[in-house]
Amino acid sequence: MRDLQPELRVNYCKLVVVTVDDAETSRELRNRIGAEFPFLIDADRTFIEALDIVDYTDPKHSPIPIPYTFVLDRNREIYRIYDGWWFVGRPTVEELRMDLRAVMSRRPDYSYDRAWDESLESREGAYGLGEVLIKKK
């Protein structure tokens, strides 16, 4: 996931990790791998139990989350779900990139519009992209 960070940054896309580790362990891991994204602490398993994504098969560490990955669009609509109980079910960076491309392409401003060159008002009206374009100037 760390390898995806530069692309997430320039595309304004976000990533969060939900973990059952405590805050200190998560801070250490986050620092060690150089992650910019937050680790959200579900140490008491309340959230993963509410979602029914709990794995009880490991005698030492259970309950632990089934390592699902969800890709959501800007409205929190689920676009893709990866069931990572088997390692091969976990997404690659390229798969996530393709998912984000698909989700981003739903935006009406995904393709360049020449009208944006012509007036500030049209840029500002372009689904919020105006703000981004103006900031870049």
Partner 1 sequence: MKMREDLKPGNKFPNFELPDQDGETLQLSQRMRGWPIIVVFYRGVW
Tokens of 61: 């560490």
| Contact status: 96 vs partner 1 (CB under 8 A) | yes
The rounded distance, in Å, linking the Cα atoms of 33 and 40 is 16
3-class secondary-structure state, position 28: helix
Q: CB of 118: closest distance to partner 1 in angstroms?
A: 25
Q: CA-CA-CA-CA torsion for 22, 27, 28, 30, nearest 10 degrees? A: 120
The answer to whether the beta carbons of residues 71 and 95 sit under 8 Å apart is no
| Contact status: 27 vs partner 1 (CB under 8 A) | yes
Interaction residues for partner 1, span 31-70 (CB under 8 A): 38-42, 47-48, 50-56, 61, 64-70
For partner 1 (CB under 8 A), the number of binding residues is 57
Strand pairing partners for 99? none
| Contact status: 126 vs partner 1 (CB under 8 A) | no
| Contact status: 73 vs partner 1 (CB under 8 A) | yes
| Contact status: 9 vs partner 1 (CB under 8 A) | no
The answer to whether the beta carbons of residues 24 and 41 sit under 8 Å apart is no
Q: CB of 50: closest distance to partner 1 in angstroms?
A: 8
Among 5, 89, 98, 104, binds partner 1 (CB under 8 A): 104
